[in-house]
Amino acid sequence: MSDALDHRSHAYRADLADSRLKGQVTAERYTEGAPGEVIVPVADIRPRPDAKCSIDTQALLGEALIVFDISGGWAWVQLAADGYVGYVRQEAIRQGSTLATHVVAVPRSFVYPGPDLRFPHRMVLSMGSRVSIVGDAETRGTPYALLEDGSAIVATHLRPVGEAATQDAVSVAARFLETPYLWGGRTGLGIDCSGLVQMALAMTGKAAPRDSDQQASGLGAVVDPQRDGLLRGDLVFWKGHVGFLEDPDTLLHASGGTMTVTREPLQAAIDRIARLYGLPTVYRRP
C-alpha cells in the first residue's frame, strides 16, 4: 500500500485514517468520522495542531466538514466543499449540522443583534458564509433576514443556497479589489491568489480545488494562447500563483507584490513575476 497520497486531500496519519482510504494507506485504525460544521465567522485550518504554524486555508461560518479526531483542543477535519484536510481549534466547530438556507453573497456583511443597522454589530461574515434564515423584517425601508436567535443580516447581502450569484466569476473576483493579501486566506477580510479563484468560481456554482497547484493540474481545460487566444475568465498559472484574466491583456489577482487584490497589465505581471518565479506554466479555461 502507498502512503504517498496528498495529505491536503486525504485524511491519514500513522495512528488514524479515513475509512475510505483503507487498502490505500496504512494506519493503526480507521474511522468514518462524524459530520460537523463551523460555528465561528472564520476558522483557520492548519497542517499541524499548532497555533504558531501558518494556515493552509480557512473555513467559514456554516461550512460542513467531517471530524475524524479531537484531541488537546484541536479537531482533525476534512472540509466538505473542497476536501481539504487539516487541524482547526475545537471551539471553532461543533459536531452535527444544520440546514443552511442562504449564503453571504457580498465580500463582507454584518450580523446585528436585531433588524436595525444602528445596533452594534455582533460579527462580520465573509462572502461564502452559510446561515439559516427563519424570518424577515424591515426597518426604515431596509429589509433584514432573521436568524433563529433573532439576530439579523441585511437581506440583500444574501442569496439562497444553490442559486448562483452570477455566471461571471471575474465580476465576483473584482468585488475583492483592494482586499488585503493573506496567505491561506479565503475571506473578504484577507485572501490569497487561489482562494480568490476558488471563491469567485464557487459563487457561480462551480467547484474548484483550494491550492494553485491543484487548480493548475485539473481545473477546466488547458488553453494555448497562440492557438486558442485568451478570453475573460481564463486563468494564468505560475509556479505557486494564479490569476484571472479580466480581458486578454489584464490580470486580476491577489498579489503578494502589492499585498492586495489588484489588476495590472498581463505582460507587466509576466515580466515582474519572471524575475523571481519564471514564466507562466499553464493557461486554463474553467
How far is Cα 164 from Cα 162, in angstroms, rounded to an integer? 6
Catalytic status, residue 241 = yes
* Choice among 10, 102, 157, 193 that is catalytic: 193
Query: Rounded CA gap, 251 and 139, in Å?
Result: 41
Is residue 193 annotated as a catalytic residue, yes or no? yes
Closest CA to 212 of 252, 171, 243, 178: 243
Separation between Cα atoms, residue 108 and residue 153, nearest integer Å: 11
Q: Is 7 a catalytic residue?
A: no
C-alpha cell at 95: 459536531
Say which of 10, 102, 157, 253 is annotated catalytic: 253
DSSP string, the chain: ----S-TTTS-B-SSEEEGGGBTTB--SEEE--EEEEE-SSEEEEBSSS-TTSPPSEEEETT-EEEEEEEETTEEEEEETTT--EEEEEGGGEEES-----EEE-SSEEEEBSSS-TTSPP-EEEETT-EE-EEEEEEETTEEEEEETTS-EEEGGGEEETT--S-S-HHHHHHTTTTPBB-TT-EETTEE-HHHHHHHHHHTTT----SSHHHHHHHSSEEE-HHHH---TT-EEEETTEEEEEEETTEEEEEETTTTEEEEEEHHHHHHHHHHHH-S--EEEE-
CA gap 212, 192 in Å, rounded:
10
Which residues belong to the active site? 193, 241, 253
